[in-house]
């Protein structure tokens, strides 16, 4: 049987199960990464497992989210993370070194390896030919302890690329085109594997942009082959020894094929408030712009920033536009400084932001009230910018900078000939902000500030559940809705009692208070409940508030896994009419839970309205054990 690229790598790492769509498999994990917003809880969980050292080829702890150190909380978390890294054999990337996905691509990613990351944009590594999957922090903790990662074997979709991108058209436009076609739910349960003659026309940073935003399709991951362009990138990074060629066999089998001619793609832009609300830039041209942000793990590579800097050379940003630029890594910052790109940005009127996630998660540089912000980021959910009523648009760096110069949404093709950006002869391998663990960790003390609180835990699953409907929400509810980010809330990530005060805050600020008054209860959701970030706090904080089950039409992959891991049952409506019929504050009862876990079928009594309805709970055998134990940590112990 001729294997596709995805199955080649998975088969090599398979420790349990059979690679057939829908079957549960366990895979060996070579590398892990965490970032500080999810890492504190991941390492608190890892500590409880009693391991002496991480059991992976490489684990890296990055600090890139909570770098706005206003008060003691973030610095305390960073000190804890650094001490944990030294204690357990983990590489530590200090604040300022850059965004985890960009740095991992530059310094650590290897073709053919498996990577698990506690960030939903971990699939960025697929641009190097890795199986890189975003998960909750608990799954990463288990992988660091040497346990396999269990997943449902996804469908593998071949994206057949032909042609070549035209001037001013970018990799960002490619993934926006796929989002326009397939939607934010179009990749659920799937891997997107890129192939065809168009692949060789794309550099590794361009491929990484595409795989990064595959997360917005809801995909398990996305992957490109490791080929001559991959070797070229690794040689420039001084890492040629990490290269191996990995491609799909000729006539490999796929579950479906999507054809995309790169020559037909044009500049695109995603309108508020969803990455799949895509139109051509021409359709939106002329709209007044208040702010432009360039950076994020999607578009902060050297190629992206050099293009922006050359366009800005000897020009001025429009007086009505505030322009912020964040290099993706210290390496990128060093190179744009050497090339005088940084100088051209500053002279043009740009604000240079720290090499971190920053504005992407509402950590600074928020737009004004009702402002229009063009961002080269990956998500434009309502309120994510830090300004509740801002209108966030997603686009390429080229479209963003053309618009910054003119003060209105502008098709970059109106700027004339695009600048020519050449690769450096060699990328600097500076690691001044990377700390490798000591060989002898026997005297390493783990430092815990007052913001580091013990993790709450749930007892074993009871056989009966009874409670009120605490909230009823619609389709495509994101983890930003459930557990918002931003400079006020992110510093509380290692303090679950404190952060739980903000559950569902953007939708219903009284949710936490109500949940405490009623000693927990049920959440009712629509389609694709829990899309977006991998943040397990969107499950952990509701668990702390006593949430016993979420009943929704369907669930996003990572969030469903996080709910199970923290002892919350993800129940699915059998009939849409049952969803429509249920009301806020209805009293519900579910009996014979242990039997239902085995059969996957539950009867829910609506005690308020006086009727019954059926819900499903699709769990594999391992997830059934986790649910009965009251969470994965209980089971692992």
**pLDDT of res. 361:** 85
> Residue written as tokens 């922090």?
137
Looking at per-residue pLDDT, the higher value among 108 and 449 belongs to 108
**pLDDT of res. 430:** 80
Question: Bridge partners of 604?
Answer: 590, 613
C-alpha–C-alpha distance, residues 446 and 388, integer Å:
38
Would you put residue 488 in left (φ > 0), alpha (ψ -120 to 50) or beta?
A: alpha
For 319-349, the pLDDT digits (tens) are 999 999 999 999 999 999 999 999 999 999 9
For 112-127, the pLDDT digits (tens) are 999 999 999 999 999 9
For 459-487, the pLDDT digits (tens) are 889 999 999 999 999 999 999 899 988 77
What global pTM score does this model have? 0.91
Question: Bridge partners of 614?
Answer: 603
**pLDDT of res. 268:** 98
Inform me whether the pLDDT recorded for 495 exceeds 80. Answer: yes
pLDDT (mean) for 389-417: 97
Inform me whether the pLDDT recorded for 613 exceeds 80. Answer: yes
The pLDDT confidence band at residue 490, using thresholds 50, 70 and 90, is: confident
533 is catalytic: yes
**pLDDT of res. 392:** 96
Among 30, 76, 77, 119, the one annotated catalytic: 119
Residue of 244, 188, 28, 69 whose CA lies nearest to 528: 188
Instruction: Could you list the beta-strand ranges (E) of 273-383.
Output: 278-280, 291-294, 322-325, 351-352, 372-375
The pLDDT confidence band at residue 422, using thresholds 50, 70 and 90, is: confident
The pLDDT confidence band at residue 286, using thresholds 50, 70 and 90, is: very high
The pLDDT confidence band at residue 510, using thresholds 50, 70 and 90, is: very high
**pLDDT of res. 21:** 94
**pLDDT of res. 72:** 85
Domain with CATH 3.20.19.10 in the chain: 465-636
Inform me whether the pLDDT recorded for 443 exceeds 80. Answer: yes
Inform me whether the pLDDT recorded for 598 exceeds 80. Answer: yes
**pLDDT of res. 634:** 81
For 67-79, the pLDDT digits (tens) are 887 788 888 999 9
Instruction: Could you list the beta-strand ranges (E) of 244-320.
Output: 256-261, 268-270, 278-280, 291-294
Pairing of strands 322-325, 291-294: parallel
For 84-94, the pLDDT digits (tens) are 999 999 999 99
Question: Bridge partners of 521?
Answer: 468, 547
Neighbours of 586 (CB within 10 A): 17
C-alpha–C-alpha distance, residues 303 and 309, integer Å:
10
pLDDT (mean) for 592-620: 94
For 252-280, the pLDDT digits (tens) are 999 999 999 999 999 999 999 999 999 99
Spell out the residues 6+ positions from residue 26 whose beta carbon is closer than 8 angstroms to its own. Answer: 14, 15, 16, 17, 148, 149, 150
535 is catalytic: yes
The pLDDT confidence band at residue 367, using thresholds 50, 70 and 90, is: very high
The pLDDT confidence band at residue 379, using thresholds 50, 70 and 90, is: very high
Inform me whether the pLDDT recorded for 636 exceeds 80. Answer: no
CA distances from 325 to 73, 176, 399, 511 (A): 26, 21, 14, 36
Domain with CATH 3.30.499.10 in the chain: 5-264, 268-413
**pLDDT of res. 271:** 98
Inform me whether the pLDDT recorded for 82 exceeds 80. Answer: yes
Among 104, 379, 579, 632, the one annotated catalytic: 379
Classify 465-636 by CATH class.
alpha beta
Q: What is the DSSP letter of 198?
A: T
**pLDDT of res. 46:** 94
**pLDDT of res. 459:** 87
**pLDDT of res. 370:** 95
Among 300, 533, 534, 561, the one annotated catalytic: 533
For 212-257, the pLDDT digits (tens) are 999 999 999 999 999 999 999 999 999 999 999 999 999 999 999 9
Mean pLDDT of the chain: 94
CATH superfamily of this structure's domain 5-264: Aconitase, domain 3 (3.30.499.10)
Tokens found for residue 220: 């398990």
C-alpha–C-alpha distance, residues 57 and 504, integer Å:
38
Q: What CATH architecture does domain 268-413 belong to?
A: 2-Layer Sandwich (3.30)
**pLDDT of res. 493:** 85
For 287-321, the pLDDT digits (tens) are 999 999 999 999 999 999 999 999 999 999 999 99
Q: Cα–chain-centroid distance for residue 108?
A: 18
Among 73, 158, 535, 537, the one annotated catalytic: 535
**pLDDT of res. 249:** 95
**pLDDT of res. 633:** 82
By the 8 A CB rule, do 292 and 323 touch?
Answer: yes
- pLDDT > 70 fraction of the chain, expressed in percent and rounded: 100
pLDDT (mean) for 397-405: 98
C-alpha–C-alpha distance, residues 296 and 375, integer Å:
9
C-alpha–C-alpha distance, residues 281 and 266, integer Å:
8
C-alpha–C-alpha distance, residues 304 and 312, integer Å:
13
Report CA dihedral (209, 422, 337, 434) to the nearest 10 degrees.
50
């Amino acid at each position: 049987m001729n294997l596709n690229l995805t199955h080649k790598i998975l088969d090599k790492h398979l420790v349990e199960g059979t690679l057939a769509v829908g079957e549960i498999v366990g895979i060996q994990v070579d590398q892990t990464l965490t970032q500080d917003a999810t890492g504190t809880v991941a390492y608190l969980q890892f500590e409880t497992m009693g391991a002496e050292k991480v059991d992976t080829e490489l684990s890296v702890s990055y600090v890139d989210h909570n770098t706005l150190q206003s008060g003691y909380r973030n610095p305390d978390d960073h000190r804890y993370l650094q001490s944990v890294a030294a204690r357990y054999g983990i590489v530590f990337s200090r604040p300022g070194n850059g965004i985890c996905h960009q740095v991992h691509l530059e310094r650590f990613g290897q073709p053919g390896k498996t990577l698990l990351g506690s960030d939903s944009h971990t699939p960025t590594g697929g641009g190097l030919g890795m199986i890189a999957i975003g998960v909750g922090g608990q799954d990463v903790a288990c992988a660091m302890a040497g346990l396999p990662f269990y997943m449902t074997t996804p469908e593998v979709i071949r994206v057949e690329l032909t042609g070549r991108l035209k001037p001013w058209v970018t990799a960002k436009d490619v993934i926006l085109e796929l989002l326009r076609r397939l939607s934010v739910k179009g990749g659920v349960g799937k891997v997107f594997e890129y192939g065809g003659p168009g692949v060789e026309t794309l550099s590794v940073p361009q491929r990484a942009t595409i795989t990064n935003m595959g997360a917005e399709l809801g995909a398990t991951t996305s992957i490109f082959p490791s080929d001559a362009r991959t070797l070229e990138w690794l040689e420039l990074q001084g890492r040629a020894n990490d290269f191996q060629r990995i491609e799909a066999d000729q006539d490999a089998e796929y579950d479906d094929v999507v054809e995309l001619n790169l020559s037909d793609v044009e500049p695109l832009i995603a309108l508020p408030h969803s990455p799949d609300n895509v139109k051509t830039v021409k359709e939106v041209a002329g709209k007044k712009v208040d702010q432009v942000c360039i950076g994020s793990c999607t578009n902060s590579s050297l190629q992206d920033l050099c293009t922006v800097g050359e366009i800005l050379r000897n020009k001025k940003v429009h007086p009505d536009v505030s322009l912020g630029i964040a290099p993706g890594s210290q390496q990128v910052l060093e190179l744009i400084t050497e090339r005088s790109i940084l100088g051209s940005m500053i002279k043009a009127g740009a604000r240079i932001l720290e090499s971190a996630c920053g504005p992407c998660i509402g950590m600074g540089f928020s737009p004004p009230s009702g402002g229009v912000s063009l961002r080269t980021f990956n998500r434009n959910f309502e309120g994510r910018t830090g300004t509740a009523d801002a209108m966030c648009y997603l686009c390429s760096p080229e479209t963003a900078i053309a618009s910054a110069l003119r003060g209105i949404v502008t098709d970059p093709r109106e700027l004339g000939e695009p600048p020519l950006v050449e690769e450096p002869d060699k990328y600097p391998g500076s690691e001044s902000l990377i700390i490798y663990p000591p060989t002898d960790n026997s005297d390493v003390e783990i430092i815990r500030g007052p913001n580091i609180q013990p993790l709450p835990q749930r007892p074993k699953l009871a056989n009966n559940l009874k409670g009120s409907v605490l909230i009823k929400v619609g389709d495509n509810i994101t983890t930003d809705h459930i557990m918002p980010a931003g400079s006020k809330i992110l510093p509380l990530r290692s303090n679950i009692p404190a952060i739980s005060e903000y559950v569902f805050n953007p939708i219903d600020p009284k949710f936490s208070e109500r949940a405490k008054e009623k000693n927990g209860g049920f959440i009712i959701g629509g389609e694709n409940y829990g899309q977006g970030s991998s943040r397990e706090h969107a499950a952990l904080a509701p668990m702390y508030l006593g949430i016993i089950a979420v009943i929704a039409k369907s669930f996003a992959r990572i969030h469903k896994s996080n709910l199970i891991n923290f002892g919350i049952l993800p129940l699915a409506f059998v009939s849409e009419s049952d969803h429509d019929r249920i009301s806020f504050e209805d009293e519900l009862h579910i009996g014979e839970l242990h039997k239902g876990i085995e059969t996957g079928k539950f009867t829910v009594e609506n005690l308020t309205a006086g009727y019954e309805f059926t819900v499903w709970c699709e769990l594999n055998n391992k997830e059934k054990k986790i649910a009965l134990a009251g969470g994965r940590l209980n089971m692992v112990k």
